[in-house]
Amino acid sequence: GENVEQHPSTLSVQEGDSAVIKCTYSDSASNYFPWYKQELGKGPQLIIDIRSNVGEKKDQRIAVTLNKTAKHFSLHITETQPEDSAVYFCAAINYGQNFVFGPGTRLSVLP
Amino acid sequence: GAVVSQHPSRVICKSGTSVKIECRSLDFQATTMFWYRQFPKQSLMLMATSNEGSKATYEQGVEKDKFLINHASLTLSTLTVTSAHPEDSSFYICSASIPSGGVAFFGQGTRLTVV
């Protein structure tokens, strides 16, 4: 089955700097890769996603890149703000199968 | 994005009682909903997959008689924790997928405390 690794487990950046979180997956059949942001005591919120036929996707300060050959994808947050502080989860899915989540990255944006 | 509503957000119950958690997809029909459990500072652990009109599929190690799942309509799935014990205290989260495309949206989560 699919296995998703995520690094780093914790990340601290200064406000205004960029943050990068990386995930690797094992199942080459996976074709959908979402990223979720989870604030304390709340459910995960979808922030961006990418499908296997696309190499990069951007939405304002957030971007995701996918390298299918290497089986890894990354979340990039630019101009970080304190409200970006949260736990971020990546996931890899072969459509029709269950989501497999990474272990999460706790991002702290320091003012 | 689509909205998934989960209720209640917090519940405290006495040991031995049962608790029901509801998960509703508000603006789309979800043939499949998922129930997760999350321990502090850990990732989401899939408990079961809830299919409308049929029995739920439970992950290995999850007691189906303890965690009863009902998916009676295309917009509602319920998780009932039966004979709750303190070790059942956790954060429970549901999600629902848009049928075409696999995108999943999560509910707000339910913090269950069994005393």
Residue pair B69/B56 in contact (Cβ under 8 Å)? The answer is: yes
CB within 8 A of B54, min separation 6: which ones? Answer: B71
Q: What is the pLDDT confidence band of residue B1, given thresholds at 50, 70 and 90?
A: low
Q: Do A44 and B34 touch (CB under 8 A)?
A: no
> Which of A21, A31, A42 to probe the B interface (max B CBs under 10 A)?
A42
| pLDDT digits 0-9 by tens, A43-54 | 999 999 999 888
| pLDDT digits 0-9 by tens, A9-28 | 999 999 999 999 999 999 99
> Which of A32, A90, A93, A98 to probe the B interface (max B CBs under 10 A)?
A98
Within the 48-107 window of chain A, which residues sit less than 8 Å (CB to CB) from chain B? Answer: 49, 89, 93, 95-96, 98-99, 101-104, 106
| pLDDT digits 0-9 by tens, B71-103 | 888 899 999 999 999 999 999 999 998 766 567
SS3 (DSSP) at A83: helix
Instruction: Report the alpha-carbon distance of residue B113 to residue A12 in Å, rounded.
Output: 31
pLDDT at residue B31, rounded to an integer: 78
Residue B112, token pair as written in the block = 């269950």
| pLDDT digits 0-9 by tens, A76-99 | 999 999 999 999 999 998 876 778
A34 CB within 8 Å of a chain B CB: yes
